[in-house]
Chains A and B, each alone.
Chain A
Amino acid sequence: MATEKSISVWGDRVHPKVKISGTGSPVVYLHGGYGPTDTELVEELAKHHTVYAPEHPGLSAGDEDAIKALDDFWDLVLYYYDLFDKLGLKSPAVVGHSFGAMVAAEVAATDPTRVSKLVLINALGLWRDAYPVANYVITAQTKLPELLFRDPHHPALKRIVLNPEDQQGFIRITWSLGCTSKFYWPIPDKGLKKRLHRITAPTLILWGKEDKVVAPIYAEDFRKAIHDAKVEMIASGAHMMTLEDPGKVAAAVTKFLK
């Protein structure tokens, strides 16, 4: 049974909704730039774990101005320790996708004792000039499907592509992109490479072979920089494989977390 809990964090300045589901050892799931769209993946993970899926600051309905309370990654990382404390989590496993993986890596690097296991899925956070990370925030809507999905007609694209006739969706997607990209704009490289060596948590780097946003070569960059890390590629996985292949992603994650 999933419950939604609204908690007060960061000196009562941020009130994120956290979806809590399943039973078993705790896993915190950090979503990517489009907001908490990965409902199927979270459901799968909840079959084996208690999953805590917080909404990124500013995304929870009625709490939009909370985004003003956090200025940079330093604030954001410490905010997550506050959030873990409020949920009674000492050292959960943390799984992050895309922007959420960048956050997860920083959380695992800053205070390594707060993350027992780490999964980075198609992670932002590193930069190679020859493989620039695609800026999906400003990609034309007509080009988004092929950029993000393997199947450019996948039904989950409704949660991603702006549609003027779905006004609520338009607002929600735009606001999610704005609140998440705040922390890395204009380029998702905020110095994580200097800090990856601090991660002690056993780490799974899960990458889609067809990721057109962050090229698969980055998986190896992460693996080399993290002490106890291994890479698993998902053949034909695109950047949003959390939406497109939730079963495959969940299987790889739960196997690793056993």
Chain B
Amino acid sequence: MKISMFHLMPYRDLPADFEQRYNSVWVDPPYWELADSNKVGQYYNWTLDELIHAANNGIDGICVNEHHQNAYGFMPNPDLMGSILARATNGTDVAIVQMGSTLPTSNPPIRVAEEYSMIDCISGGRMVAGMPLGTSQDVNLCYGISPIEQRERYYEAHDLIIKAWTAKEIFPWNGKYFKLPMVNIWPRPIQKPHPPIWIPGSGSLSTWDFSARNDHCYCFLSYWGNNFGKRVMDGWWDFVAKGNHDPNPYRAGFLQLVAVSETDASAEKDYYQHIRYFYDKCLHIQPEYFPVAGNQDYKSLVNSVTKLNPQMFDLMGKIPTWKYKDFIDNQFVIAGSPKTVTQQLMEAVKKLRVGNLMVLLHIGSMPHELTMKNVELFCKEVLPNFRDVWDGEWENKWWPEKLRGARGTNAIANGGNGKSGGKSRPAHA
């Protein structure tokens, strides 16, 4: 099993009454009222430090993502972060998981192909290529792409990127959304035919279909934990079976919020205020923004309105009344002592059948020192218990080939990758 640390890079210091005074954490929170760029600089550096700390302590991969105009996470170009992380971890065998450049807004999409190639080259062939559809907020509002066109643009961008990585000819691209006269990108990735591709989704059938058809890893990214997540993942596995694909657990990725402390009691003391911050402030979004009308195709719209929304609104209505125990009982967050976390996470991973797990170890307003503690406790006390899960039964085809052994055992970490050219050196803490 492979576990990666996910980081959103939020603004850690929104005012206490943020959700009362402001309309939304995403799209329209006014930067000039809420944010201090000096603090922001500190946050970016802490984020990098926290991810590198996890890498130094044995995590299999480190993950960043892309959002815009969003106080709960703002790495508008995740590849800037990914390239720093690639350099900082040179000579080690940690994966750089880009989750990732939003396809429909990257114009032209070969920019993503080029940037991902750069990261793969700099890292010596250690990147995972996430290909997000992008949220309605980011794509339709922040970047002005027509809601109804978003998915088609995404499919076209995906096809163009893969062709740019693999074609043995210089080709014109006469697409509906993108037209290029002579595609011949420099560089291309080290990994052949290309880095493994992960598709983040939030439960739509068309994303399942797309992921299965293209043999990509489907990653369910939600902040609602594994109880809710099971319903979606069951659907994914049904879909996989119907399409006659093998039930390889590495075909599935999942994001879980995790907070580790010395004891269950101290976990509440350490983390509850930050969990509260996350669910009250970070997820305070104007409903008309997600998704914008037209973003869902007609079938999905009908399904949402008649089946999914009633459940979702019901749940969302309860969250403001929740106490710490409710977040834990509903498995929105797995928190507690290393033993508790190990037990609950193991159950979750088996019940969802996830081979490529991502853990969100920085939550909301968590300060730097507390995050480093969470990272260390997780990596040292929880992570080792997961080494052998799924091992021997299945191959992780959706992980860089050079990194498929356990951390520390891969040749690239022992100076065994002559091609990278990077000096073997310890990553900076």
Contacts and interface: CB of A to CB of B under 8 A. Distances in A.
Interface of A: 64-65, 67, 71, 137-141, 164, 167, 170-171, 173-179, 181-182, 185-187
A180 B295 CA distance: 13
A141 B148 contact: no
B167 interface: no
B305 A178 contact: no
A178 B136 CA distance: 12
Nearest to B144: A186
Chain B's interface size range is 20 to 34
Contacts of A139: 288
A167 B307 CA distance: 10
B315 interface: no
B313 interface: yes
A177 B289 CA distance: 13
24 contacts: A64-B298, A65-B298, A71-B176, A137-B293, A138-B141, A138-B286, A141-B287, A164-B309, A167-B305, A167-B306, A171-B305, A174-B294, A174-B305, A175-B294, A175-B298, A178-B292, A178-B294, A181-B147, A181-B294, A182-B147, A185-B146, A185-B147, A186-B140, A187-B144
Given A137-B288, A179-B148, A181-B146, 10 more contacts: A71-B176, A138-B141, A138-B289, A167-B306, A178-B292, A182-B146, A182-B149, A182-B294, A186-B146, A187-B144
B293 A174 contact: yes
A137 B298 contact: no
Nearest to A174: B293
Contacts of B148: 67, 178-179, 182
A175 B310 contact: no
Contact of B292 (A137, A170, A175): A137
A138 B294 contact: no
Nearest to B28: A138
B383 interface: no
Contacts, number: 69
Q: By CB atoms of chain A within 10 A, which of B149, B286, B293, B306 has the most? A: B293
Contact of B294 (A71, A141, A164, A177): A177
B160 interface: no
Contacts of A64: 298
Interface string B300-314: 011001100110010
Nearest to A187: B144
B146 A171 contact: no
B24 to A, nearest CB: 10
Contact of B147 (A140, A178, A187): A178
A165 to B, nearest CB: 10
The majority secondary structure among interface residues of chain B is helix
B144 A175 contact: no
A175 B295 CA distance: 9
B147 to A, nearest CB: 6
Interface in B254-296: 286-289, 292-295
B210 to A, nearest CB: 17
Contacts of A67: 148
A138 B289 CA distance: 6
B288 A171 contact: no
Contacts of B302: 171
Given A138-B141, A185-B144, A185-B146, A179 B305 contact: no
A164 B149 contact: no
Contact of A164 (B141, B145, B310): B310
Interface in B172-195: 176
A176 B147 CA distance: 12
Of B141, B146, B286, B295, most A-chain CB atoms within 10 Å: B146
A56 B298 CA distance: 15
Nearest to B177: A71
Q: Which of A71, A137, A185 counts the most B-chain CB atoms under 10 A from its CB?
A: A185
B291 to A, nearest CB: 9
B423 to A, nearest CB: 48
Q: Most chain-A CB neighbours within 10 Å: which of B141, B301, B305?
A: B305
* 3 shortest interchain CB distances as A-B pairs: A178-B294, A177-B293, A64-B298
B302 to A, nearest CB: 6
Contacts of B289: 138
